[in-house]
């Protein structure tokens, strides 16, 4: 049995048949992650003590004849912006280098209650700000598919460990594409659920009106199970939705005949080269499955990037005010006055991209500029959301590229923040509208680089999204392949 080829349902079956114990599986997962991690720098740290304790509970439940849960024994990696009690959580920032959270995020509690085993914390862009994972204070992550390339960002480590096979599933966070884009770059499934579907209690806030927690997996069914376990109302997050959580497994019938799928003309006008070719091939596959594919117009698309970067930096400048050298670990030595201590602690603790966004956000909220930037951006956001709600009046889903290009070389775009921001165009629109969207692998370029197909649905229509993604995955035969072995997934 190789840990790198396991699935959620396969592990549960193996445990219940007593083929292996959760403790054995966890030990193997930890050893494998330890051995493989130097290649990618995807894990910032492993947490063997916590993992083995959780595994012992699963084994005890099975021994006692109790149901060990939907995620029984599954090794889960967690992006280092999600709090884990007693396990250092840095947000990939120097300013939180020694921070030990006093509580667990709700998503973490729910995963463990379902038998999931948290094995480690993954690298990411500092405070989830970036599209390449090059903004980590602890070094970039390498894409396991091609080690000289970025894994995408900001949840680059979480995508990389699943692609590499050093975790079976993982958690990321998505504010403007931080789950879908790395999923696409690494050839795995990544899901951004409806805004409010998963509680953000214990997620370090970046831009609160846009932040989501969501899963990565090597196949659609595993991602759906992980999301189902985490979803639902949480009294600790007033923005969490009370809407009932349906069975996502039951939605994956394989039958998508008659589904009405829109392809946004504004997106395809930008898409070029091999990415466009693979997306068009995926659209043909959907037609072959009996979907009705039509063009759709989302006319506000061209203004979405500008609106997004105004809103997210404004919210970030406010959210990150809390890191001032008082409450969280690192304080500047240069701290003779109170204001000086704030300024130097922040100046020394934050990296260049975080500083850039704090500055931008402070500027657009400052006196005299609020109406022209922040208020205007919120109105454009309403237009983007209206584009989608009009489209979903006639459509079941929209399909699109995730990124204009596949994984690029480390260092290639790091000096041009404007170009980096503009590359988020396809993922930002769905984030602004708060609709569920996901990336599912749809093929490889001539250089062997993965490309993802993005599927977007209306609020709370995750069941339709998973039904389409699962049918596509089965028809296209493109699964996320763990790269550390050549074995196919069972």
Partner 1 sequence: MKLTEKEVRYVAGLANLSLSDEELGRMVHDLGGILEQMDRLAEIDTEGIEPMSQVLYDAGDETATLREDVERETLGSEAATANSALAANGYFKVPLVIER
- Sites for partner 1 among residues 143-202 (CB under 8 A): 194-196
Among 139, 250, 359, 448, binds partner 1 (CB under 8 A): 359
Would you call 199 a catalytic residue per the annotation? no
Among 87, 203, 213, 307, binds partner 1 (CB under 8 A): 307
Contact positions with partner 1 (CB under 8 A) in 80-119:
98-100, 102-103
Residue 324 contacts partner 1 per CB under 8 A? yes
Q: Which stretch binds partner 1 (CB under 8 A): 64-72, 185-193, 222-230, 417-425?
A: 417-425
Residue 244 contacts partner 1 per CB under 8 A? yes
CA angle (143, 149, 152) in 5-degree steps? 65
**Spatial distance between the Cα atoms of 6 and 75, rounded to a whole number of angstroms:** 10
* Cβ 181 vs Cβ 191: under 8 Å: no
Would you call 154 a catalytic residue per the annotation? yes
- DSSP secondary structure of 255-315: --TT-EEEEEHHHHHH--HHHHHHHHHHHHHHHHTT-EEEEE--TTGGGHHHHHHHHHHHH
Please report the sign of the dihedral spanned by the C-alpha atoms of residue 370, residue 375, residue 376, residue 377: positive
**Spatial distance between the Cα atoms of 225 and 462, rounded to a whole number of angstroms:** 12
Among 363, 405, 412, 445, binds partner 1 (CB under 8 A): 363
User: Is 267 or 479 the residue whose CB approaches partner 1 more closely?
Assistant: 267
> Under 8 Å CB-to-CB from 25, ≥6 apart: which residues?
3, 6, 11, 14, 15, 55, 73, 75, 117
Contact positions with partner 1 (CB under 8 A) in 383-402:
383, 385
Q: Could you tell me where the beta strands, DSSP code E, fall in 88-128?
A: 117-122
Angle, helix 462-476 to helix 273-288, in steps of 10 degrees = 100
DSSP three-state, residue 466:
helix
Would you call 209 a catalytic residue per the annotation? no
User: Is 30 or 210 the residue whose CB approaches partner 1 more closely?
Assistant: 210
Structure tokens at 234: 């949480």
Report the nearest approach of partner 1 to the CB of residue 457 (Å): 12
User: Is 245 or 475 the residue whose CB approaches partner 1 more closely?
Assistant: 245
User: Is 121 or 218 the residue whose CB approaches partner 1 more closely?
Assistant: 121
C-alpha distances (whole Å) from 9 to each of 69, 115, 181, 217, 356 are: 11, 12, 26, 12, 44
Residue 45 contacts partner 1 per CB under 8 A? no
Among 310, 453, 468, 476, binds partner 1 (CB under 8 A): 310
Residue 4 contacts partner 1 per CB under 8 A? no
User: Of the listed 132, 136, 154, 158, which one is catalytic?
Assistant: 154
Q: Which stretch binds partner 1 (CB under 8 A): 68-76, 144-152, 173-181, 340-348?
A: 340-348
Supply the residues annotated as catalytic.
79, 154, 178
């Amino acid at each position: 049995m190789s840990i790198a080829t396991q699935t959620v349902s396969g592990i549960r079956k193996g445990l219940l048949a007593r083929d292996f114990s959760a403790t054995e599986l966890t030990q193997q997962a930890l050893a494998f992650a330890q051995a493989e991690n130097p290649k990618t720098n995807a894990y910032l740290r492993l947490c063997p003590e916590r993992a083995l304790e959780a595994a012992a509970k699963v084994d005890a439940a099975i021994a006692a004849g109790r149901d060990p849960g939907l995620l029984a024994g599954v090794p889960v990696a967690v992006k280092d912006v999600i709090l884990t009690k007693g396990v250092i959580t840095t947000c990939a920032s120097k300013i939180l280098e020694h921070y030990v959270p006093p509580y667990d995020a709700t998503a973490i509690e729910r995963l463990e209650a379902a038998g999931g085993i948290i094995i480690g914390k993954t690298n990411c862009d500092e405070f989830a700000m970036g599209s390449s994972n090059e903004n980590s204070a602890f070094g970039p992550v390498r894409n396991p598919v091609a080690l000289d390339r970025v894994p995408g960002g900001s949840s680059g480590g979480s995508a990389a460990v699943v692609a590499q096979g050093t975790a079976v599933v993982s958690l990321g966070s998505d504010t403007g594409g931080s789950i879908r884009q790395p999923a696409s770059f690494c050839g795995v499934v990544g899901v951004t659920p409806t805004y409010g579907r998963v509680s953000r209690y214990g997620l370090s806030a970046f831009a609160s009106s846009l932040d989501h927690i969501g899963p990565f997996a090597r196949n659609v069914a595993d991602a759906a199970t992980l999301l189902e376990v985490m979803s639902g109302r949480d009294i600790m997050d007033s923005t969490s939705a009370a809407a009932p959580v349906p069975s996502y497994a039951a939605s994956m019938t394989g039958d998508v005949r008659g589904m009405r799928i829109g392809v946004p003309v504004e997106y395809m006008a930008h898409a070029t080269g091999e990415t466009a070719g693979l997306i068009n091939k995926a659209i043909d596959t959907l037609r072959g499955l009996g979907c009705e594919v039509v063009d759709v117009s989302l006319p506000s698309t061209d203004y979405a990037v500008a609106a997004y970067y105004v809103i997210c930096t404004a919210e970030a400048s406010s959210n990150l005010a809390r890191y001032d050298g008082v409450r969280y670990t690192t304080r500047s030595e240069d701290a003779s006055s109170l204001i000086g201590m704030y300024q130097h602690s922040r100046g020394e603790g934050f990296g260049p991209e975080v500083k850039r966004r704090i500055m931008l956000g402070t500027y657009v909220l400052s006196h005299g500029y609020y109406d022209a930037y922040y208020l205007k951006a919120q109105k454009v956001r309403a237009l983007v959301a209206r584009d989608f709600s009009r489209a979903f009046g006639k459509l079941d889903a929209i399909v699109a590229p995730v990124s204009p290009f596949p994984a690029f070389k480390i260092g290639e775009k790091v000096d041009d923040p404007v170009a980096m921001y503009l590359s988020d165009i396809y993922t930002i629109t769905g984030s602004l509208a708060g609709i569920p969207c996901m990336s599912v692998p749809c093929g490889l370029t001539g250089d062997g680089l993965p490309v993802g197909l993005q599927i977007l649905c209306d609020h709370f229509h995750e069941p339709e999204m998973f039904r389409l993604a699962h049918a596509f995955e089965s028809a296209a035969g493109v699964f996320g392949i763990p790269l550390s072995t050549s074995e196919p997934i069972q």
